[in-house]
Structure 1
Amino acid sequence: MGARIENPIIVIGGGIGGLATALGVAETKQKVKVLEQAPEFGEVGAGIQLAANATNVLHRLGVMDKINEIAVFPKRLVLMDAFSGEEISALDLGDVYKERYGAPYIVLHRSDLHHVLLEACEENPYIELVTNQMIEKTVQDEDSITVTAANGDRHIGKAVIGADGIWSNTRKLFVEDEAICSQYVAYRGAIPIEDITTHGNLDDVYMWIGPNLHLVQYPVRRGELYNQVVVFKSTQYRKEIEYTDEWGTPEEMDQVFAGTCDPVQKAITFIQRQRRWPMYDRNPISNWTKGRVTLTGDAAHPMLQYLAQGACQALEDASYLTDMIHQHGDNLEQAFLKYQEERIPRTAYVQKSARTWGEIIHSTNPEGILLRDIIMKNRTDQDFQFVDQFHGYNNTVKNVVKA
């Protein structure tokens, strides 16, 4: 997959963040080799939401035209009460949003986004893509870095960027920490759009919330499919069964969602039940650079999904890291240090904020629920104060080359 290149910057991980990082580095005319552990490049999961802080980066990377062909541009982000069926609040995602942040809010299938990024990498002469690379060892010396895979393959380059996700091996070069189980699980799936006829505007993003639960719904793939994500906190969770499927079961999902309103009940019947996703994050760390090795995306700052900012932050990383390589050229050690100087405080804030918003939307406290709902109902749909600090981040577009 691509011509073999010498002395590259090695990106470990070929997910959305890894491929975006490769495209960014290639923009600086540095050679990149992407190592993916799977037999082929691909993406699991269903839908993904990308706010303007992410779509600004996708524009920079030159892939927005292709994404526009497959994405959906929702009109509103709507917060609903999962039990009463009442609308609590909404955010206008139309022209006012685009004017404010310089880019649209989009929703699409994760595999569609990944495919567009992969195609761009395949067409880029600076990028080489290699599969079946489960990386076991990274050794840095004065002049080079050697990365060794489980199958014995060795890759020598001038720097390494770990983009290998929440279960990152590269992260272990910096810290021996454990992923933190939130005790929540998610069930995901996309169904034909014609199967959903029970509520509202199908162009909108709906988030139905209740104590210890929520449901997210929105269209993907040009509006042909309807993505649904059911999330709930398990009362069956215990540390000793954490890595089993004995908690957060489909039967428990039915129990937790009992009593919710008809549209939510109907959505539950469509959810695929054969696979569940336990939800994890990690605590922020104070350093993710050592010499010519650094981290990006979930390897650096895995977060809970409640702000829909995981992929957005990985794309911000890719863009800011690109800026620093532009600025510092072959001094990659300095580029990496300047990159993390900006990104560590930013991503730590988003990680912590995701936890806080999870507590707010899942509140079980009657007074807390009442206060939340009063505040949310009294705002207008063009009040952006709760999202400005996330969607309005503009350090990603300092050196934008317009496509």
Structure 2
Amino acid sequence: MGNQEKEILVIGGGIGGLATALGAAEVGQKTMVLESAPQFGEIGAGIQMGPNAMAVLDRFGLADEIEKYAVFPKRLVLKDVYTAKELSVLDLGDEFKAKYGYPYIVLHRSDLHRVLLEACEKNPSITLVNNQFVETVVESENGVTVTNSNGEQFTGKAVIGADGLRSKTRKYFSDDQPICSHYVAYRGTIHISEISSDANMDDVIMWIGPNLHVVQYPVRRGELYNQVVVFKSNNYKEDSDDWGTPEEMDQVFEGCHPLVETALSFIQRQIRWPMYDREPIANWTKGNITLLGDAAHPMLQYLAQGGCQALEDASYLADMLKEHGENFHQAFLAYQEERIPRTARVQRSARTWGGIIHATDPISILLRNTLLEKKEAKEFEMIDWLYGYKKHLEKVNS
């Protein structure tokens, strides 16, 4: 088989992997997406998409389809978890949209994933394969060969590891391990009719307090209400599930505002999500192998940028594949040169913001609240670096 006939192999069929396949197809490259699950799908609940992510979805021709499922919040609101006082507001209205070119949206993760999946299924340049637990990746003169847990092999002309937080592909670049933040999340959506009339359907609300927070917003055209409860466990034990339990959640949130207590009463308690990230690494590329999304830069979710950064990756990688043609090594090096500093900044900023919203000592809390209260709702300087990123669109339609 001649090298030209081989595909790019994408390991992982999540948001990042599917977006990568769409980006590669846009510039004329065939891809095969290898997903470990028996079917393509997305677990979890809501996801927030800043204008930097919406720009990529629009590039791939998906903005209209996404908007059928999305909710367009008017404000991001930080509230005190005990008093319900509004500490800070970011106005997401016309000025925000005009400045960044796209709206801020919230939607169900499964809706976003399905739109990406359907676009991949319709694309003749993309092959989707399930039940693929990739064990090894080896590069030789013939290409890059991926071997799965059954011993089956796929040889492509390049490999992109989009296989998430516990990426096997990352082991070729770093022997680091995921870092547990000692925080857990409990997530869930409930039907909008179950929500009390006090809930503001136009806002993304983040209730904050010492070592804890709750996020609430509507999803799926406003039919469902998404809630995420997050707290730091005092009982953290490595290699154990016996920490961050629902019982501990009830203790930690004792005395919070009645609206937050109501949220807790609806939350699904069966699945706890321990929260991990990793330190940024200085290199993701070796020969014709590179990393993307959480495999490259897993981050804590305090800036709601995990999925957004994977989409940015996919878009910029497509530009570099277009620019460098069949020279994948050069394309991957150019891709990471742009993306590593950007994503490392987001990873570190997410950690920092987590520290700010979860502040425990009275002086830090007073200082934070005083500064937040002085910020105008239409003051965008603090977020400009995040939402004003245009690198992933520079070469569109060129």
Same fold (TM over 0.5): yes
Q: 2:318 aligns with which of 295, 315, 322?
A: 322
Determine helix, strand or coil for the equivalent of 1:156.
strand
SS of 1:70 mapped into structure 2: coil
Equivalent position of 1:276 in the other structure: 272
- 1:328-339 to structure 2, matched below 5 A, reads 328-339=324-335
Aligned to 1:399: 395
For 1:111, the aligned partner's letter is S
**Structure 2 alignment gaps of length 5 or more:** none
Question: Aligned partners of 1:303, 1:16: CA distance in 2, in Å?
Answer: 15
- Mapped contact 1:306–1:357 kept (Cα < 8 A): yes
Is 1:165 the counterpart of 2:164 in the alignment? Answer: yes
How far residue 245 of structure 1 moved from its aligned partner, in angstroms, is 1.8
Within the candidate set 284, 287, 298, 1:288 is matched to 284
The SS at the match of 2:77 is strand
What is the one-letter code of the residue matched to 1:173?
Y
| CA distance in structure 1 between the partners assigned to 2:178 and 2:241 by the alignment | 17
1:52 matches 2:17 = no
Q: CA deviation at 1:243?
A: 2.9
Q: Secondary structure at the match of 2:21?
A: helix
Aligned residue type for 2:351:
R
Out of 288, 292, 297, the residue aligned to residue 293 of structure 2 is 297
RMSD: 1.1
Contact 1:140 1:146 in 2 (8 A): yes
- Paired position in structure 2 for 1:220: 219
What pairs with 1:139-178 in structure 2 (closer than 5 Å)? 139-178=138-177
- The secondary structure found in structure 1 opposite 2:393 is coil
1:95 maps to what in 2?
94
Please state how far the C-alpha of 1:401 moved relative to its aligned partner: 3.8
Amino acid aligned to 2:369: D
Q: Hey, what's the Cα distance between the residues in 2 that align with 1:104 and 1:24?
A: 22
Rounded Cα–Cα distance in structure 1 between residues aligned with 2:144 and 2:241: 39
Deviation at 1:178, TM superposition (A): 0.8
> Counterpart of 1:49 in structure 2: which amino acid?
Q
Mapping 1:111-150, distance limit 5 Å: 111-150=110-149
Report the secondary structure of 2:230's partner residue.
strand
Question: 1:35 and 2:41 equivalent?
Answer: no
- State how far apart, in whole Å, the 2-side matches of 1:210 and 1:248 are: 17
8 Å CA contact 1:60–1:401 kept in 2: the answer is no
Secondary structure in structure 2 of the residue aligned to 1:387? helix
3-state SS in 2 of match to 1:348: helix
Aligned to 1:262: 258
Quote how far apart the aligned CAs of 1:387 are: 1.3
- Could you tell me how far apart the structure 2 residues matched to 1:63 and 1:153 are? 34
The residue number in structure 2 matching 1:361 is 357
- Taking the aligned partners of 1:400 and 1:191, their CA distance within structure 2 comes to 39
Question: What's 2:207 paired with?
Answer: 208
Question: Which residue matches 1:64?
Answer: 63
Query: Matched residues in 1 for 2:247 and 2:228: separation?
Result: 16
Question: How far apart are 1:198 and its partner, in Å?
Answer: 4.5
The equivalent residue for 1:385 is 381
Shift of 1:386: 2.0
3-state SS of paired residue (2:88): strand
Structure 2 Cα separation of the partners of residues 278 and 385 of structure 1:
32
Q: Distance in 1 between matches of 2:283 and 2:341?
A: 10
Identity among equivalent pairs (%): 65
8 Å Cα contact 1:17-1:311 kept in structure 2 = yes
Per the TM alignment, residue 203 of structure 1 is displaced from its structure 2 partner at its CA by 2.0
Work out the CA distance in 1 between the residues paired with 2:344 and 2:321: 22
CA distance in 2, matches of 1:362, 1:90: 17
Deviation string 1:129-158 (CA, Å, 9 cap, x unpaired) is 000000001110123011011122211100
**How many residues are matched?**
395
- Give the ranges of 4+ consecutive aligned residues of structure 1 lying more than 3 Å apart after TM superposition: none
